C-alpha cells in the first residue's frame, strides 16, 4: 500500500512539472496564427515573472511584415497594473516602448504593441532579447524562434 501511494505521489510531481511549462504561454493564442493566408514565425521565452511571445507575420499576398508583442505575468499575484515598459534588441534593431494598464487585462495577457520597423524585421535565426520593467522591477527574457 505504501508503495502504491509513493508511486502515485511521484507521478503527481512529474505530471505537475510537465504542465507548468506549457502553462507559461496559455491564453496567448492569436487569430493571426489561425489564418491560413498568413505567413508567420514566433519567438517565445519566459523569466521568473513573465512569459513573452513576439510574432512576426504578413499576409501571403503582401510584402510588408507586421509584429505583435504579448506578455503574460506568471509571477506571484496580484498582477501588475500601471506602466509596463520594455526594451528590445533584435541585433539589427533596438528600441523601447511602454503601455499603461489601469486594470489587469483580460486573461492576464498584456498586449504591448508592435515592435521593429519593416526594414529590420527579424528572421527565424534572429536572437531576440526583451527587457520588461514594471513596479520598479526588471527582468530580461531571451526569446527563441519556435
Residue 32's pLDDT is what?
67
pLDDT for the residue 62:
84
Sign, Cα dihedral of 36, 39, 40, 41: positive
Identify whether 7 is part of a domain: no
Is 22 contained in some domain?
A: no
Asked whether the beta carbons of 54 and 43 are under 8 A apart, the reply is yes
* Amino acid 85: pLDDT: 97
Q: Which domain holds residue 42?
A: 28-145
Residue 17 lies in a domain: no
Q: Cis (ω within 30 of 0) for the bond into 90?
A: no
Residue 46 has what pLDDT? 96
CA 126 to the chain's CA centroid: 16
- Structural domains in the chain (count): 1
Q: What is the pLDDT of residue 49?
A: 96
Q: Is residue 9 part of a domain?
A: no
Residue 15: inside a domain: no
pLDDT of residue 109: 93
Q: In the prediction, which pLDDT does 14 show?
A: 43
Per-residue CA distances from 68 to 40, 52, 82, 132 (Å): 11, 11, 20, 15
User: Phi and psi dihedrals of 128, rounded to 5?
Assistant: -110, 125
Question: Mind listing the pLDDT tens digit of every residue in the chain (146 residues)?
Answer: 555 444 444 444 444 444 445 578 888 877 667 777 888 888 999 999 999 999 888 888 888 888 899 999 999 999 999 999 999 998 878 889 999 999 999 888 999 988 866 655 666 778 899 999 999 999 999 999 87
Alpha-carbon distance of 145 to 65, in angstroms, equals 16
What CATH number is associated with residue 60? 2.60.40
Can you give the pLDDT at residue 74? 94
**What is the Cα–Cα distance from 123 to 41, expressed in whole angstroms?**
8
Q: Does 126 reside within a domain?
A: yes
Domain-located, residue 35: yes
Is 4 among the domain residues? no
- Residue 139 phi, psi dihedral angles, 5° rounding: -140, 150
Amino acid at each position: 500500500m505504501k508503495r502504491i501511494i509513493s508511486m502515485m505521489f511521484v507521478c503527481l510531481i512529474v505530471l505537475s512539472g510537465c504542465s507548468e511549462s506549457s502553462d507559461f504561454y496559455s491564453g496567448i493564442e492569436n487569430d493571426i496564427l489561425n489564418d491560413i493566408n498568413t505567413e508567420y514565425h514566433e519567438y517565445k521565452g519566459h523569466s521568473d515573472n513573465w512569459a513573452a511571445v513576439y510574432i512576426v507575420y504578413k499576409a501571403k499576398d503582401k510584402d510588408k511584415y507586421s509584429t505583435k508583442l504579448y506578455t503574460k505575468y506568471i509571477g506571484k499575484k496580484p498582477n501588475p497594473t500601471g506602466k509596463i515598459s520594455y526594451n528590445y534588441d533584435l541585433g539589427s534593431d533596438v528600441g523601447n516602448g511602454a503601455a499603461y494598464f489601469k486594470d489587469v487585462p483580460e486573461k492576464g495577457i498584456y498586449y504591448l504593441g508592435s515592435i521593429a520597423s519593416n526594414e529590420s524585421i527579424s528572421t527565424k535565426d534572429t536572437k531576440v532579447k526583451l527587457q520588461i520593467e514594471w513596479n520598479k522591477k526588471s527582468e530580461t527574457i531571451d526569446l527563441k524562434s519556435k
